[in-house]
Amino acid sequence: MANGAGSWPMVATLGLVMASLSLGCRSSSNSATVAPVPTTLRDAAPVAEPVAAPVAAPVAAPVAAPSAAEPAIKIVDWPIAWTPERERLALAYRRAHSDPNAQDLTIVPQVIVLHYTGGDSAKGTKGYFDNITIEPSRKQLYAGGKVNVSSHFLVDRDGTIYRLMPETKMARHCIGLNHNGIGVENVGDESKTKLTEAQVAANIALVRYLVAQHPTITHLLGHYEVMKFTQDPLFQERDPKFRNDKPDPGVRFMRSVRTGLTDLPLVGLPSDDKSP
């Protein structure tokens, strides 16, 4: 009895071992059929890499594009004096000359007007623009409004570009185009202190920058051309007698600037003056 009872656990143990081995064999057989699955997964993994690569390439291309349309340019902010009194006088000027219902000085730029200062100092021009009111000795302009003249930009003789006020705020720089024009003053003239090649290059760069910043801009004019522009819808002057003829910045300068901008679809007055 004792020997019979001892042999039973041994038989049971052997049975379990054999069952385990049998199951192991079946597991090995099953794993052989499952084995291709990881292979398929490994094959699928590299698919993610080619998909990612084409996505990254197009993203880089648009980033480079703005640099061509919006060239690198250095602008030095040098704001002119602007007080609540100047704001009030400027708004009164706008209501009198272009928009009687205007509530502020915000403009949508459509025209760039180039000027020269007639002097030889950027500091002197800035100091003059800092005056809140125009002097009574400038009778015609004083009669049109007491707010002093101004400009958005001032280009020094070495080509340094100063921003005197935001280009979306009305400046008093050009009869008929203050409500939609950006004014650019250049230190000098075309006689004693001739405008420089550095200023030509700076104006070209500035115009490109402004057109890129404000797609609403369609026209580029010299101040001397504006009185030939009075029939254009962009010109607005409520007082039909308020006009003045100006010589700035001269045919030579405008021709030089336009030569550097032939790729831009800017409208202007083709000069009939072929003098240098």
Mean pLDDT by 10 residues, the chain (276 residues): 40 36 38 39 38 39 40 92 98 98 98 98 98 96 96 98 98 98 98 97 98 98 96 96 95 97 88 43
Phi, psi of 115 (to 5 degrees): -135, 170
- Condensed to tens digits (0 to 9), the pLDDT of residues 49-61 reads 333 334 344 433 3
The last residue of one of the domains, among 49, 66, 83, is 66
From edge to edge, which strands make up the β-sheet containing 111-116?
A: 75-77, 161-163, 153-155, 181-186, 111-116, 219-222
Identity of the residue numbered 133: T
Residues 33 and 127 grouped into a single domain: no
The percent of the chain in helix, strand and coil, each rounded to the nearest 5, is 45, 10, 40
The answer to whether position 275 is within a domain reads no
Residues 110 and 188 grouped into a single domain: yes
How many domains is the chain built from? 2
Phi, psi of 211 (to 5 degrees): -65, -40
Is the CB of residue 71 less than 8 Å from the CB of residue 205? yes
pLDDT the model gives residue 110: 98
The pTM score is 0.74
- Condensed to tens digits (0 to 9), the pLDDT of residues 215-264 reads 999 999 999 999 999 999 999 999 999 999 999 999 999 999 999 999 99
Containing 112, the helix (H) or strand (E) segment is strand 111-116
Identity of the residue numbered 42: R
The last residue of one of the domains, among 66, 89, 109, is 66
Q: In whole angstroms, what is the distance from residue 67 CA to residue 58 CA?
A: 16
DSSP letter for 77, please.
Answer: E
Residues 176 and 127 grouped into a single domain: yes
Residues 25 and 158 grouped into a single domain: no
Residue 247's CATH number: 3.40.80.10
204: domain range?
74-259
Looking up tokens 């004014």 gives: 183
